[in-house]
């Protein structure tokens, strides 16, 4: 996930090279000028020094967009949409979900659903350790069907119960 600070760093790198951007969103930049291969290579090097990667492949860009949508949904949405994940992602990217799911699996080696579960469990871990929310509150916040479902998924992924994890983490 790209932060506002990261976005400023990317804009600064563009400016250093004399590039003007039309759009500089959190994960996508459109520049006014056409770039020579030499300038593009320099931008790649400068971005790498700052910890960023220039992604030019359309499929890789789409994968990053899927990941960003999922991370935003899991970590930064106060109210998660009630739509199914497949409908939500498909609508956000204006692509058929089957195409997106197949592409994601082909490129990353895991399914979109597995990526969502992994992110949700990481979020549950954070909430267990740093917030004073109950399991019921966490379950509701992350749109689990029940505390039991959350607990079973947590145990399946981590090998621990949420209660044990919270207790262990506090020590």
The segment(s) of the chain belonging to CATH 1.10.10.60 are 57-171
pTM: 0.74
Query: What is the tens place of the pLDDT at every residue in 52-72?
Result: 777 777 898 899 999 999 998
Q: Within 13 A of 147's CA, how many CA atoms are on the CB side?
A: 9
pLDDT at 53: 77
57-171, which class in CATH?
Answer: mainly alpha
| Total residues found in the chain within this entry | 171
Instruction: Return the DSSP state at 74.
Output: I
Distances (CA, A) of 97 to 6, 30, 63, 88, 147: 30, 26, 12, 9, 28
Distances (CA, A) of 167 to 18, 158, 162, 163: 53, 14, 9, 6
Do 12 and 31 touch, CB atoms closer than 8 A? no
**In this structure, what token pair is assigned to residue 74?**
């899991």
Q: Within 13 A of 85's CA, how many CA atoms are on the CB side?
A: 22
Q: What is the DSSP string of 69-96?
A: HHHIIIII-SS--SS-HHHHHHHHHTS-
Q: Is the pLDDT of residue 24 over 80?
A: no
Query: What is the tens place of the pLDDT at every residue in 110-164?
Result: 999 999 999 999 999 999 998 889 999 999 999 899 999 999 999 999 999 999 9
């Amino acid at each position: 996930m790209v932060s506002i600070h990261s976005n400023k760093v990317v804009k600064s790198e563009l400016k250093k090279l004399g590039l003007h951007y039309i759009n500089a969103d959190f994960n996508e930049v459109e520049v006014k000028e056409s770039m020579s291969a030499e300038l593009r290579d320099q931008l790649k090097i400068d971005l790498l020094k700052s910890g960023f990667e220039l992604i030019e492949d359309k499929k890789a860009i789409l994968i990053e967009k899927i990941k960003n949508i999922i991370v935003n949904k899991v970590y930064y949405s106060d109210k998660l949409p009630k739509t199914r994940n497949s409908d939500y992602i498909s609508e956000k990217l204006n692509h058929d979900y089957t195409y997106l799911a197949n592409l994601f699996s082909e490129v990353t080696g895991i399914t979109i659903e597995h990526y969502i579960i992994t992110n949700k469990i990481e979020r549950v871990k954070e909430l267990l350790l740093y917030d004073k929310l109950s399991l019921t509150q966490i379950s509701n916040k992350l749109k689990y069907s029940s505390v039991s479902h959350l607990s079973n998924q947590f145990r399946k992924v981590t090998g621990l119960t949420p209660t044990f994890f919270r207790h262990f983490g506090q020590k």
